[in-house]
Structure 1
Amino acid sequence: MLRKKYYTALMALILFFNITAASASAEPVEEARELIKEYYVEELPDWVLAKPSIKEMVRYLDQYSVYMSAEEFADFTNAIEQQLVGIGVVLEESESGIRIMSVLPEGSAAAAGLKPGDILVMADGTSLSGESVQTAISLISGKENTSVTLTYINSETGSLHTISVPRKVIQLPNVEARMLGGNIGYIRLNSFAMNASKDIASAIQKLGPANGWIFDITNNGGGYVSAAQETAGFFPGVTKAFQLRYKGNQAQVYHAIRQQVGFTSPVHILINENSASASEMVSASVKEQKGAIFYGQNTYGKGSMQSLFTLSDQSVLKLTTAKFFSPKGSPVHEIGVAPDIETAAGDELFISHRDQLVSGLKGYRKLPMLKDVPVTKTFTVKMNAGMQWSGLKNGDVQLIKLGGSEVVIEVEITDEKTIKIIPQKLLDSKGKYMLIIHPNWKGKNDRKMNQGIFLEVTVK
């Protein structure tokens, strides 16, 4: 598996169920014709059904109906399940070739001894100097159980080596989870794969109790309808999953499948223009039932559902068999789901995390933002009156990177009115932070602080 920097996989489709054709003796074209006639969501003219091949019939259906060979179907399902074939590296361009940014532990590149920082200079005899990551991927990728010969510069010794690395199927993690600063749980779902709900539940349990949750489905192109139905059941107050309308406009509302664990308020969902299909099923449902606040941009606008039909020769017909709506009937197709709070692309997590933090600072005073501070910034806080700084405890002053974790700081007492807050490592260039001072200590007059303060910080 090869991934470009900031790689995302877009699968703008939904799967519902798998039906095997009843008669294995019939020719696949006749099987397909009957399935299209019976299950395709729109009525079709006879001249479409009279076409002599499956591909010719499918050509006149919608863009999401596809005829696949058994091999193409295997690739298709592997993509949904986050299974890719390759050597297991993340790459970026460099002057002398293609630099390895990271190596997946389970990949064949790791087993061959390749390490982050190594520079790939040739792939199967073709120079990679001056080439793009896309070109490198096309040269290094290939079929499972084949090999690619790589020449690389060792990052530690500078010496040149040539090795043969086998390509194999690699399972990418479908759920990414971490605890953000301020005890805000963050879970990203990359695909509505078959085990998506189990992975989400495991992440919720692993992170433990949180002050708020952020569920990220940006760039999530969809997956299985059953996974969407289960995922809706994690959100507070959400009891219905979606409405499906089949051939003849027959409508049926499906209930969300309640999970044993779930998100606790406040909950935010991150969406963008590449959030499609099953992502939009969940978004339309949760938004309508007020189970979360949405941040980001309008979603893709794919409101149709596909079903899988396996033909007698093991080829597969993916057919649009229904259109989906919110439980109350709001359309999604070519409309999408709008966020409650629109953000610039790429800022969804920063703004959501900031708002999660601010929601826990009721009564605190917001100070003016500090813009474009240096990465070496030391913060000076001067109070109006003398303070009993000896009562200062860990956690009374926090510096939190938005979208990230809490920064380790040292608090230095300058005088009875002034403290300095010193980050123990350089701030991230272009990073965004929040400085919070909680009202947990007293002044010289034994009076407790009236209110806490907070301010936002951006770094050059």
Structure 2
Amino acid sequence: MFRRKRSFLIVLVLIAVFLFSGPLQAAENDHSLDLFKEVFQYTLDQYVDELDEKTLEEMAIKGMMQQLDPYSQYFDEEDYNDFQTEMDGYFGGVGLQIEQIEDYITVVAPLSGTPGEAAGIIAGDIISKVDDTDLTGMTLQRAVDLIRGESGTQVRLTVIREGTTEPLVFNITRDIIEIKVVESEMLEGQIGYIKLSSFTSSSPVLYSHALNNLRSQGATSIILDLRNNPGGLLGAAISVANPFLEDGLDILHIESRVDGDNTYYSTSESIELPLVVLVNKGSASASEIVAGAVQDHGVGTLVGTTTFGKATVQHLHEISSGGALKMTTAKYLTPNKRAINGVGIEPDVIVEDPEEQMKRAIEILKGNAVLPSSSQAITFKIGEKKMWFDGKTVSLSEAPYLAKSSVTMIPLKQIAEQLDFRVDFNLQEQKITLTKQESVMEMWLGKKEALINGQATTLQSNPVIKNGTTLVPIRLLAEFLGTQVSWIDGEITFRIR
């Protein structure tokens, strides 16, 4: 028998709720719970250091959440208060959005204008140490507690970064982190610029005010900057996407084992302004909901680098102890039902350098704010060996298809021929060259890199040959042509001026 029956009943109920879908009575009789009781009691009795049942209960719950996925988490009362403070956008620390991925504390994004961003920490960095404490295998909340501290104190973060041979060490002075959720300004050429740093409860109102203010100043196009925006609330993401979509268009699809499938739709008329959305590896979760809706419906152009790839939904459930559970309860798909979890969204125009990303966005809006009616259009469907070009049907030797990385691959030669481009293949170098007048694109089979007029660009999927036909990522061709791609009702279209 347990010495403290009340405490054990709490953990028993929790284990029954989370490990079993059947009635509680059936779960209580299950051998798995007998095993749990046995281990629980033995640990209380025999562990080298004395443990109280409350501590052991919390260890068991935290371990259970940690084993589910990187984003499910248990908060005790103190941790939950800290979490709510962070979601309100005001807390102390260095300004990094982090997640536990496998055994590693990984940076999702540095928050804009914070000491972490100023120090040079970037999305994808793994924090291996805080001062002299090793974080490997440590819980997320414990890592957060170590990184945070009083304003003015210093913390030393040791970081492992992809592409470097030695760990990087950052000495950072903590500060009060007050997230500027929305920043906006009018750029040259009547281009409205909105920087959205996170999706909090206040984001929709602040974002709507900024958008309306820019429009009242005469903005004729919009740049929405979601770089290093780690996400936040689902409802906020829907509100941000809404103004650029026609009433009734789907924004995302939710798949849930408990609640079933659900689709969220736009509920207002589109403002019909040309749009560029800036994204990078630090754009995650709610940012990817907005980016996916914009890209799938062809209402704007994504510029930057591939996003983080977090497409799961967490539900916050308050529990009787004053704490809470943040549990993954669903996953989401883009309007075209693309699964981007762990993959991310490849932008329409890939630009690595942050300053060049903004320059490219401005160039796109200045040059392509309105496409002329005389533009040429190519339309095709995944899996069909035909395309439509200026009202006529053209047969394809291979059907466009969706690669494992969720990248659309299209046959190059027949599309290029319709546009009067020349295609050359160098067998020895395995190089494909696309030429028209002074424009040249070079790519290589099996390589995720290409040169567009001498400028290097990175591909999410490399060109391939299938049954004698060369297929390339549609985004690569769109970037070379300087045009947008739209997905509407299963049809993929891009227009060339």
TM-score, normalised via structure 1 length: 0.51
Task: State which of 335, 341, 351 in structure 1 corresponds to 2:343.
Answer: 335
1:295 to 303, 320, 324: 303
SS of equivalent to 1:233: helix
Summarize the Cα distance change of 1:356–1:32 in structure 2 as closer, same or farther, 3 Å threshold: same
Instruction: Please give the residue correspondences for 1:230-379 in structure 2 after superposition, counting only pairs within 5 Å.
Output: 230-237=239-246, 239-247=249-257, 250-258=260-268, 263-346=271-354, 347-359=356-368
Deviation sequence 1:367-423 (CA, Å, 0-9, x none)? xxxxxxxxxxxxxxxxxxxxxxxxxxxxxxxxxxxxxxxxxxxxxxxxxxxxxxxxx
Alpha-carbon distance, 1:47 to partner: 5.1
The CA deviation at 1:86 is 6.8
Whichever of the two has the greater Rg, that structure is 1
Contact 1:185/1:214 (CA < 8 Å) preserved in 2? yes
Pairs within 5 Å for 1:59-458: 59-85=66-92, 142-143=149-150, 171-207=178-214, 208=216, 209-237=218-246, 239-247=249-257, 250-258=260-268, 263-346=271-354, 347-359=356-368
Q: 1:289 to 1:140 in 2, by over 3 A?
A: closer
Q: 1:168 to 1:180 in 2, by over 3 A?
A: closer
Q: CA deviation at 1:337?
A: 1.2
SS in 2 for 1:286: helix
Q: Distance in 2 between matches of 1:211 and 1:253?
A: 31
CA distance in 1, matches of 2:147, 2:230: 25
Q: 1:38 to 1:276 in 2, by over 3 A?
A: farther
Summarize deviations over 1:155-210 as a string: whole Å, max 9, x none: xxxxxxxxxxxx99664320010001111000010001012111111101222231
- Aligned equivalents of 1:74, 1:38: Cα separation in 2: 29
Identity of aligned residues (%): 28
The answer to whether the Cα contact below 8 Å between 2:221 and 2:369 also exists between their aligned partners in 1 is no
Q: Does 1:29 align with 2:11?
A: yes
User: Size of the alignment, in residue pairs?
Assistant: 268
SS at match of 1:274: coil
Corresponding position of 2:399: none
SS in 2 for 1:191: coil
Q: CA deviation at 1:345?
A: 3.4
Question: CA-to-partner distance for each residue in 1:43-64, whole Å, 9 max, x for gaps?
Answer: xx98599755212222321111
Structure 1 residues 362 and 313: CA distance shift in structure 2, 3 A:
closer
Larger deviation, residues 221-230 vs 245-254:
245-254
Specify which structure has the bigger relative contact order, considering alpha-carbon pairs within 8 angstroms and separated by 6 or more residues: 1
1:48, 1:57 within 8 Å by CA — same for their partners in 2? Answer: no
Task: Note if contact 1:270-1:294 (Cα within 8 Å) is conserved in structure 2.
Answer: yes
- Cα distance between partner residues in 2 of 1:312 and 1:204: 41
- Give the partner amino acid of 1:286: V
Contact 1:297 1:345 in 2 (8 A): no
Partners in 1 of 2:13 and 2:181 — Cα distance?
A: 35
- Which stretches in structure 2 are left out of the alignment for 5+ residues? 1-5, 22-29, 41-59, 96-112, 115-144, 155-173, 373-497
Which whole-Å CA distance do the structure 2 matches of 1:36 and 1:290 have between them? 41
SS of the residue aligned with 1:222?
coil
Distance 1:85 1:225, change over 3 A: same
Task: Measure the CA separation in 2 of the matches of 1:64 and 1:257.
Answer: 30
SS at match of 2:276: strand
More helix by share: 2
Please state how far the C-alpha of 1:257 moved relative to its aligned partner: 4.3
Amino acid of the residue matched to residue 277 of structure 2? I
Asked whether the 8 Å contact 1:213–1:264 carries over to 2, the reply is no
Q: Cα–Cα, structure 1 residues 358 and 316, in superposed 2: closer, same or farther, change >3 Å?
A: same
**Aligned match of 1:429:** none
Q: Distance in 2 between matches of 1:32 and 1:321?
A: 16
> Post-superposition shift, 1:277?
0.7
SS of 2:307 mapped into structure 1 = coil
Closer, same or farther: CA 29–204 of 1 in aligned 2, 3 Å: same
Which string of whole-angstrom CA distances, capped at 9 and with x for unpartnered residues, describes residues 221-241 of structure 1?
110111112112121336222
SS of residue matched to 1:301:
coil
On the 8 A contact 1:232/1:257 being kept in 2, the answer is no
What code does the residue aligned with 2:210 have? A
In 1, Cα distance between equivalents of 2:190 and 2:304: 22
* CA displacement, residues 273-325 of structure 1 (integer Å, 9 cap, x when unaligned): 11111111111122111221111111111111111111111111111100110
Contact 2:274 2:369 in 1 (8 A): no
CA contact under 8 A between 2:245 and 2:266: conserved in structure 1?
no
Cα pair 1:235 1:263 within 8 Å, conserved: yes
The answer (yes or no) to whether the contact 2:246–2:268 under 8 Å persists in 1 is no
- Distance (whole Å) between structure 1 residues aligned to residue 309 and residue 330 of structure 2: 15
CA–CA distance in 2 between the matches of 1:288 and 1:181?
29
